[in-house]
Structure 1
């Protein structure tokens, strides 16, 4: 039974699963080959607790990828991609996504199995991104001839560079980084009128 179809967990079990997933992100970021025992120790739970929730390592990895993808999807949704003015939605989504991606870099970097919950969520996120870009084009923020699929890829690259680029940006708040990303996406590096 998958985590998404399982009956709801009790509050203490939910906290335990959250602690395990957070520990897995930290431990696997540092050592992708880490054992379930190392993850349990980092989570402050018994190894048996990890195995009770996740039958084997791949189950834990899949749950980690799904959990991070759900958080990323929620970050996009919280930016109100369908209802907020496009420029506001782009900024909110960008700042939210930077926060989630910085906290869950390992999990969000995992390849998604086709048809998995994480893969479906990532496809929906890409679709939502195109929706916001289309709304921005309708509002005249993006040239009417722009290839939105290419622009989405550029946007993703800007997000990635902001997260993994210069150490000088490590102390820059997400709102400032989001503003830079959106400014670069919409205006490039050319002179301003």
Structure 2
């Protein structure tokens, strides 16, 4: 019999309650950014003392939400292979992932701490590769990244019935937003062939081929 069984169970219980608290915090704070920790405890189904034991302050809780999202950004950069995949394919894959994260982390995406230098460096590398491949002509990857992030927020917040979205032929609203963002960013950064989502559709074909 190996020792430490009860302590492992205690750690596992603590991890589960922490996960419940963070999930509840994301939902509660997305609806009311000023909600107190007590409301988060109620939503998580844990004692209020448990929240205060896991997170010594509201700031500590926000830091944990930011760290969780940053970890998923870093994982997305790795999974979309921004360093090795064809850069336009990587941009489309990353944009799809980021839109999904913005839907599931509606509060945390507003936290500056969620985007660390590691994430910014990954984006800068992607735009440098897009430039080297001749997809865009803009020279400064930092500028490209700032344009991308600004337009990402605009595309995400666009009303679903916007003519800009409904004019695009896409399988879903999210796909239309991805088409719009990628087309607009490439065009803004000196790229070509970005009309009517044709670029993104061709990227999807390349992405499918790349996965096989």
TM-score (norm 2): 0.74
Does structure 2 conserve the Cα–Cα contact (< 8 Å) formed by 1:68 and 1:108? yes
**1:3 is matched with which residue?**
none
Does structure 1 conserve the Cα–Cα contact (< 8 Å) formed by 2:92 and 2:178? yes
**2:155 is matched with which residue?**
162
1:140-182 deviations in Å (ceiling 9; x for gaps): 1111x5332222111111210122222336x944344223211
Does structure 2 conserve the Cα–Cα contact (< 8 Å) formed by 1:75 and 1:96? yes
1:63-142 matches, within 5 Å, as 63-112=64-113, 118=114, 122-142=116-136
Report the 3-state secondary structure (helix = DSSP H, G, I; strand = E; otherwise coil) of the residue aligned with 1:166.
coil
Distance (whole Å) between structure 2 residues aligned to residue 138 and residue 122 of structure 1: 25
Does structure 2 conserve the Cα–Cα contact (< 8 Å) formed by 1:72 and 1:101? no
Bigger Rg over Cα:
2
Instruction: Report which of the two has the higher share of helix.
Output: 2
Q: 1:190 to 1:78 in 2, by over 3 A?
A: closer
1:23-42 matches, within 5 Å, as 23-42=24-43
**1:181 is matched with which residue?**
181
Distance (whole Å) between structure 2 residues aligned to residue 11 and residue 131 of structure 1: 38
Does structure 1 conserve the Cα–Cα contact (< 8 Å) formed by 2:38 and 2:48? yes
**2:52 is matched with which residue?**
51
Q: 1:111 to 1:184 in 2, by over 3 A?
A: closer
**2:205 is matched with which residue?**
none
Long gaps (5+) in structure 2: 1-7, 166-170, 196-212
Q: Which runs of 4+ in 1 moved over 6 A?
A: none
Report the 3-state secondary structure (helix = DSSP H, G, I; strand = E; otherwise coil) of the residue aligned with 2:38.
helix
**2:198 is matched with which residue?**
none
Q: Pick which of 181-190 and 12-21 moved more.
A: 181-190
Q: 1:84 to 1:175 in 2, by over 3 A?
A: farther
Q: 1:37 to 1:146 in 2, by over 3 A?
A: same
